[in-house]
Chains A and B, each alone.
Chain A
C-alpha cells in the first residue's frame, strides 16, 4: 500500500524562504535550497515551493530555486503560486519540478487544468483549493490567497477538478489555517469522500498529533505544513515516528 506522505511547504518570495509572523509582516527565514535539503534529510516525502513573488520580474527566480534544489534533493518537487498558463507549467516542469499546483488561476480558468493534464499528464497537475465554511458542512472556494470568495461550492469544485483531469487536490482550510488547532477534519472528510484522486490536507497543523489524527479520521493521502517545520517546532521525522507508533504506514 502507498505510504501516507508528509509534505513540508516553503513559502518563497524573490528567491528567499519567508514567513509571516504574527501579522507583523514577512520575515526571511532562509535559503530555499538549503531548507529543502534539510527537509529531505528529515525524511520529507515531497517538497512544495509556494512562490509568493509579487512582481513579474521575480518569476524566473523560483525556477532557479527548483533547478538548484533538483541537483541535491531526490524526492518529488512541486511548485505552486503564480502558474497561469500552459507555458508556465512547461517551464516549471523543465526546471525540474515534478508537479505544479494551480490555484486561483484554475478557478478563473478551469481549462488550465484540462490543458495541463492533457499535455503533461494528470500526475503533474495538483489543484490547490482554499475554502471556508459558510454553514456546517458547506464551504465556498476562495481565490487570491483567501481574499476573494468566489461563491462556488467546494464539493462541486473539487468534483469538477477531478473531471478535468487534476491528479491531486491540495485542500487548504481558511478557517483552520494559522490557528494551529489541527486540520479541518469535516472539510477534509467531505472532499475525500467526493473525489477518488488523492487529497492533501493543509492548514491548521499545530502539534505533533494533528498529522496522525488527519490520517486516522479521514482517508487523506498526505498532510502539508509550513510554519511548524520552518520554525523547527517539529521535524518531519518526529511526525513520522508519531504516525508509525499509531499504526499509520509512512516511509
Chain B
C-alpha cells in the first residue's frame, strides 16, 4: 500500500488516479500510523513552501514524514520535492524537512517566462532506479517558479530552461523527489511512478 500524504496541499487526486490506473493500492491519508505502516510514501504538494510547511506542522506530520523517509521509499512531487530540502527562500527563509542537502529559491531570470510551465526534456545526470526502461527522449510536465539548488551527488536528472533546473533528486537511500508532475506527464510519468512503486522496500 502506498500512502499519499493528505495535508491539504491540493492535487492529490491526480496522484491517486495515476496509482489506481497502474493497479497499485494507495490511500490518501494524514494518519501517522497509516503512513508509517505503508510500503511506500508519496508527499505531493502545490502552492507555497511556507504554507505547506505550516500545514505539515499543524497536522503534526513532520516527525512522521522524517521517520517514514528514513525507513522506506519516499517520493516528494513538485512542492513536495522542494519540502525535502534544508530550507527555502520563497517569501522569506523557512526551514524544510532537511532530507536532502540543498535549498530552494527562485528560478534564475534568464529572460525566459516564469513560471517554467510545460513539457521539458529530461537530461540524465546520475543513474537512478526511477529511470528504469526510459529512453533518451523523455519529456515531463512542469509547473513551478522556484527550484532546488543542490550538489551533483543529489542530482539525478535536470532540464534546460535558461539554466539547469533539477528535475529528479535523491538522497542515495530512500528519498526521491520529482520537480515535475509524473501524474501529468503521460506515459513517461506513469513509468516513473511504476518504477517508484516497484522499488524494493527497506
Contacts and interface: CB of A to CB of B under 8 A. Distances in A.
Interface of A: 1-3, 5, 40, 43, 45, 70-72, 74-76, 96, 98, 121-123, 167-168, 196-198, 221, 249, 251
A2 B190 contact: no
B134 interface: no
A119 B17 CA distance: 24
Contacts of B183: 74
Given A76-B141, A167-B115, A96 B14 contact: yes
Contacts, number: 66
A1 B117 contact: no
15 contacts: A2-B117, A2-B119, A2-B161, A5-B119, A74-B14, A74-B21, A74-B190, A98-B184, A123-B115, A123-B117, A167-B117, A198-B113, A198-B117, A221-B118, A249-B121
A89 to B, nearest CB: 13
A71 B21 contact: yes
B32 to A, nearest CB: 26
A70 B14 contact: yes
A198 B118 contact: yes
Contact of A3 (B47, B120, B184): B120
A76 B120 CA distance: 14
A51 B165 CA distance: 36
A40 B186 CA distance: 8
Given A74-B186, A96-B13, A96-B14, 18 more contacts: A1-B161, A2-B117, A2-B120, A3-B139, A70-B14, A70-B17, A74-B17, A74-B184, A74-B190, A75-B141, A75-B185, A76-B141, A121-B47, A123-B117, A123-B143, A167-B117, A221-B118, A251-B139
A23 B47 CA distance: 45
B187 to A, nearest CB: 8
Interface of B: 13-14, 17-18, 20-21, 46-47, 113, 115-121, 139, 141, 143, 160-161, 183-186, 189-190
Nearest to A124: B143
A98 B18 CA distance: 15
The 4 closest A-B pairs by CB, nearest first: A251-B139, A2-B118, A3-B119, A123-B143
B13 A70 contact: yes
Contacts of B17: 70-71, 74, 96
A123 B144 CA distance: 9
A3 B189 contact: no
A143 B143 CA distance: 29
A122 B21 CA distance: 29
A196 B117 CA distance: 13
A251 B119 contact: yes
B120 to A, nearest CB: 6
Contact of A71 (B20, B113, B143, B186): B20
B123 to A, nearest CB: 11
B120 A1 contact: yes
A243 to B, nearest CB: 13
Nearest to A70: B17
Given A96-B13, A96-B14, A198-B113, A3 B186 contact: no
B120 A196 contact: no
A71 B19 CA distance: 10
Nearest to A94: B13
B112 to A, nearest CB: 9
B13 A74 contact: no
A198 B143 CA distance: 13
A217 B116 CA distance: 23
A244 B161 CA distance: 20
A221 B141 CA distance: 14
A75 B186 contact: yes
